Amino acid sequence: MKNLRLKAARAGKDLSQAELAKLCGVSRQTINAIEKGDYNPTIQLCITICKVLSKTLDELFWEE
């Protein structure tokens, strides 16, 4: 399932995939795969992404 909330939050902070990846210590391809729903990140990576984007886990990763 695509993670459009992550993509929107990243765009809201005016960050490219590469910029977010650098801030989180992963590759751009990892961020791309998460957004496309091709990769299920570890809880630690989820927390790191949330901190960088000033969002909660629920806001970015909880499925309705």
Q: Which of 14, 15, 13, 46 is nearest to 30 (CA)?
A: 46
pLDDT at 1: 82
pLDDT at 64 exceeding the cut of 80: no
Architecture of domain 4-56: Orthogonal Bundle (1.10)
7, 32 contact by CB (below 8 A): no
Of all residues in the chain, the percent with pLDDT exceeding 90 is 94
pLDDT tens-digit map of 13-37: 999 999 999 999 999 999 999 999 9
Domain limits of the chain?
4-56
